[in-house]
Structure 1
Amino acid sequence: MAVTQTFVMVKPDGTKRGIVGDIMSRFEHRGFKLIHAKQLVMSSAMAEQHYSHLSAKPFFQELVDYITSGPVFAMVWEAENAVQLSRSMIGPTNPAEASPGTIRGDYGTSVEANVIHGSDCPENAEREISVFFGQ
């Protein structure tokens, strides 16, 4: 299996709660290698670009408003099968459906405040890495 990269972002609810280090530790313990990381407050334009694939959804503006409401911590992680492995660690979008031991199962409080974003496919990982870190 090839080593690939994925994009992971701790959302404003996670940064406000001070759990960035805990989340990073989970990835490190799972064997991921941290490639890039930075904390920032996303502009509306950046958020709209990040969530462009959801622009037709009725909740799109709520997503943009939420993700720009405070600092996020953006990261690029590398591992074998990085996207699939990180998604299994993160858990389902709804924390009520996420198993204990997953990041959302342990830290998420609602669909809106689910602590973390992770790329859902290699193509989106590449696009999201580009949005946050350039080529």
Structure 2
Amino acid sequence: MEKTFFIIKPDGVRRGLVGEVLKRIEQRGLQLDRLELRTAPDESLIDKHYEALVDKDFYPNLRNYMTSGPLVVGVISGVEAISCWRAMMGATNPAQAQPGTIRGNFAQSPEKGKAIENIVHGSDSPESAEREIALWFS
């Protein structure tokens, strides 16, 4: 069994999509191991989470977006949970996300100069999953 970390981002919470996302996780046969609603996280936690991006020009908008309101964090497990969850999420850019994926069905293309509000996050490798789970659930 593989574990992965996920976030339902502030736009997903704000738009009332938490239940839909969790339903899809369970319907796919993945197990919810941990689940927490968090008030807007502080900037230092977001900076640690996105440490590889903090020097990018777009990062201040991403930080503002991720600290703009409550979010749901969790751990899911299952056979090939990382690749399964990433396929369920769809492409990062909503314009490229296939219909049927979470982002393809629900994410909206950003206004120029704003962060991509794409509903969900998922770890991209076993190493990232381990790091992100420890960071958010230490």
Question: Scaled by the length of structure 1, what TM-score is found?
Answer: 0.94
| SS class of match (2:108) | coil
Pair 1:77-2:81 in alignment: no
| SS class of match (1:99) | coil
- What's the counterpart of residue 133 of structure 1? 137
Instruction: Please give the alpha-carbon distance, in whole angstroms, between the structure 1 residues aligned to 2:61 and 2:128.
Output: 21
- What's the counterpart of residue 42 of structure 1? 41
Instruction: Please give the alpha-carbon distance, in whole angstroms, between the structure 1 residues aligned to 2:107 and 2:83.
Output: 20
Unaligned segments of structure 1, at least 5 residues: none
- What's the counterpart of residue 92 of structure 2? 93
Instruction: Please give the alpha-carbon distance, in whole angstroms, between the structure 1 residues aligned to 2:63 and 2:46.
Output: 6
Question: Scaled by the length of structure 2, what TM-score is found?
Answer: 0.92
Structure with the largest fraction of helix: 1
- What's the counterpart of residue 124 of structure 2? 120
% identical aligned pairs = 42
Query: How many equivalent pairs are there?
Result: 132
Aligned structure 1 segments of 4 or more residues deviating by more than 6 angstroms: none
Instruction: Please give the alpha-carbon distance, in whole angstroms, between the structure 1 residues aligned to 2:35 and 2:52.
Output: 23
- What's the counterpart of residue 64 of structure 1? 63
- CA drift of 1:30 comes to 0.4
Counterpart among 12, 26, 41 of residue 28 in structure 1? 26
